[in-house]
Chains A and B, each alone.
Chain A
Amino acid sequence: MATATETLPAAQTHERWHPTVTGWLARIVVLLVLLGGLLLVTAIVPQFWADRISLAVIYAIIGLSLNIVLGYVGQVSLGHHGFVGIAAFVAAYYATEKAGCAPEVGCDVTTFFVSLLFAAASGAIAAGILGLVALRIKGLYLALITLAYGFMAETSIFEISALTRGGAGMPAARPDGFTSDRAFAFLCFAFLAVVVYVDWRLIKSKVGRAILSLKHSEPVASSYGINVTAYKVYAFTLSGLFAGLGGGLFAFRATNVVSNDFNFATALLWVLMVVIGGLGNRTGVIIGSAFFALFPFLFELIKPLEHYVRDTLGREPGFFAIVLGALLAILTIVQYPGGIAQQLSPITRWLRGERFSMHPEGHGRHRRAGHGLKARLRSRHTPGAAAEAESGSEDHDEPEGLAPAESPELAAETERMAAAITTTTESAEDASEGTDASEGKPAPARKRTRSRKASS
């Protein structure tokens, strides 16, 4: 009865689900309301809150800068306070010492932009040098080097009195037209928009894909002709550029830069805010960074609590930020490696034009992993399995370790890489299996047991 050859059913192509026109309109409206609301809040809150919002925006820029190293390349930088601090002092130095800006005289906008340019360049150079060192030193040792680098900046560079004017600090007058806290906050928003755009375009480009591939396996990346060292230095330099920009804005926000602002504890807090935000996820990192910048001030919104903390306990509300941040970080690392981004992913995915679902992992492109030849073959014998495969797997519900929470680009890249590797060595049938294996999950096995249950 059995024929020698068996005709397989035609491959089912799953059309990607698209929202209707109304659906798109709803998404655009929600997005505009969110962004507009943010700007509106900045426009109507008191000036000192606008100042804090600008701090949150600067933190977001620094967070995105750190995200390149931490989230994309997968290295730990404990020396970011070095880059940010150097850039802040360079900006203040240029504006005050070279261009003659002072709080009484003011500062013209051109000078402001030039000093920001210098700040970004100095951050990029400082980080580029570190990146060059990173050519030979890998993994955990690199974390040590960045730590030592930050330590050196803190104890040596920040002590050069010509640059930092010792403990009194280097003044940095805000540019004309942006002297008010509110105007400066809007300026910071503009810079954040630029950074987000550059970051987004970068990751979509060939360079971005190359950088993302470094995190998973450098040998695999280099076997694909990716110049590992060059892209690493590139990523570090870009991270330093953003950090430098953040540092420059930091200087003009504070209007007086003191070296105490940039210490080791700050660098640790920055690492934590990126981890809590969600590694490799822009939205998550921005929210996480803003949260850490604003948290110490949130007590002020609840007056009785603030009085209790300040007067009865005699503690600064900021102290709680450290404890809470650390607790959140431990919780994130141990229980929810995706961070804030993972919690928000139903919303962000909906905004990106997908169906709203609390289990977004099952509806994305990952689903295709379960639709390989094997899944289809299985579905012919076990009716339950088809539905099982259809509803998607839980393969990606628990990203391993510090895996980025929600990075379809990354997942696609891995998928492509793993598929290419397995197909060269094994049969095409195993390609889907290889994809799952590359994610470190024994997913196919799990699915099989479940389908057996379904058929019995």
Chain B
Amino acid sequence: MRTAVVVGVIAALIGAVLIAGAGDEASPNPYVVIGLVNGAAYGLIALGLVLVYKGARVFNFAQGEFGTLAAFIVYVLIEQVQGTEIPYGIAVLVAVVGVTIVGLLMERIVVRPLLNAPRITVLVATIAFTLLAVGVQVLLFLPEAKNLPGAISAVDAEGTPRGPEIFDYIIEPQQLLIVGVLGALAVILGYFFSKTDLGLAVLATSQDAFATRVVGIGVERMSRFIWGSAAFLGAVAGVLFIPVNLALAPGVMTSNALIPSFTGAVIGGITSLPGAFVGGITVGVIQQLAGWASQNYHFGETALQELIPGFPSVALVVVLLLVLLARPQGLLGTEA
């Protein structure tokens, strides 16, 4: 019920902005549309964050790096393998499976020994893992930006942009793909956690590992499952998001997408899967609207941009603070 209300209100707000801005010269509409699409990617990462939080009660700082790793694997397979042409789909499949294995290894080597350690220890361990992943990428690929092509090219053979035009903005097919994948995954995960035995077992583990063991659920198996699926989600997010928005460089998802995703997960409620979806999109739109505002608002002679550099990130931090102070459990979460 609350989910429906919150989703309705946010959709109505975004719709109102879109309608109000229609036809205007300096309209924020293209920004809003970009925000929706970026937000979908943030939501995808936030899904992974929420999954780990629900299962292990910890913030997974390595979530972004799963994405960068997957993108690098795709890059190597399609750009650097000589001789045979590897289809994009196969490359993505290899990358996602590979990163899922990395996630399982991380669970075994880093997380499992800390099953009974304080949560803050596990958090530092995920930070260490993040830095390890970034370091390995820097060693292998140097700190240079690379260009990773998308699954579907944004322009057709004649060079005209593909995709539907909404409010003066042409959405690339890849961006549509992100939105679609996010929606599908949110529904699947929502069903998984509320209806299936395995999903309920994962939730039980997160609440009381000892009691769960007593009733015959393998805590280790659950932990493996959680981190494997988190890595899977991170890999999917990276492979989809990096081609449209970012240049591929070591640690790019951590520095560009992790903080907005965390903000999204917290806004939506760190324990709520639909919340990750809603929060991610909200953050994407807020960020873009702030970017629009910083270019179009003027105080006397100085633009907001010059007054407060990096206004989008300031807006993000302010929103995060307000949510944490006023409603730490987020819009859709049930507990803090």
Contact = CB atoms under 8 A, between A and B. Distances in A.
Interface in B194-235: none
A156 B305 CA distance: 10
B317 A326 contact: no
Nearest to A321: B135
Nearest to B259: A151
Interface string A32-43: 000000000000
Contacts of A402: 117-118, 120-121, 124
B313 interface: yes
Interface string A315-338: 100011011011101100111010
Contact of A156 (B120, B132, B310): B310
A332 to B, nearest CB: 8
B308 A156 contact: yes
Contacts of A76: 120, 123-124
B300 interface: no
B131 A268 contact: yes
Contacts of B138: 319, 322
Interface stretch (B179-187, B236-244, B271-279, B320-328): B320-328
Interface stretch (A140-148, A188-196, A238-246, A419-427): A140-148
Interface majority SS on B: helix, strand, loop or mixed? helix
Given A156-B309, A160-B309, A275 B320 contact: no
Contacts of B309: 155-156, 159-161
Size band of the A side of the interface? Answer: 35 or more
B336 to A, nearest CB: 8
Given A148-B320, A149-B317, A330-B109, A265 B134 contact: yes
B124 A264 contact: no
Nearest to A323: B135
Contacts of A329: 124-125, 128, 131
B253 to A, nearest CB: 12
B114 A268 contact: no
Contacts of A401: 114, 117-118, 120-121
A265 B129 CA distance: 12
B110 interface: yes
Interface in B138-177: 138-139, 142
Contacts of B7: none
A315 B140 CA distance: 9
Interface in B104-129: 109-110, 113-114, 117-121, 123-125, 127-129
A102 interface: no
B66 interface: no
B310 A159 contact: yes
B128 A272 contact: yes
Contacts of A152: 310, 313-314, 316-317
A135 B225 CA distance: 35
B142 to A, nearest CB: 8
Nearest to A143: B123
Contacts of A271: 124, 127
Contact of A327 (B59, B132, B139, B316): B132
A261 interface: no
A156 B314 contact: yes
A337 B109 CA distance: 15
A325 B320 contact: no
Contacts of B113: 334-335
A147 B320 CA distance: 11
B219 to A, nearest CB: 18
B131 A143 contact: no
A262 to B, nearest CB: 13
A148 B118 contact: no
Contacts of B139: 315, 319-320, 323
B262 interface: yes
A139 interface: yes
A82 B288 CA distance: 24
A333 B317 contact: no
B325 A137 contact: yes
Contacts of B313: 151-152, 155-156
A226 interface: no
B50 interface: no
A334 B120 contact: no
Nearest to B312: A155
Nearest to B143: A319
A333 B109 CA distance: 11
Contact of B259 (A147, A322, A400): A147
Nearest 10 A/B pairs, CB to CB? A322-B135, A326-B132, A159-B309, A155-B310, A323-B135, A156-B310, A329-B128, A401-B117, A326-B131, A155-B313
7 contacts: A76-B123, A137-B328, A145-B321, A149-B317, A152-B316, A275-B128, A402-B117
Interface of A: 74-76, 78, 133, 136-137, 139-141, 143-145, 147-149, 151-152, 155-156, 159-161, 263-265, 268-269, 271-272, 275, 314-315, 319-320, 322-323, 325-327, 329-330, 333-335, 337, 400-402
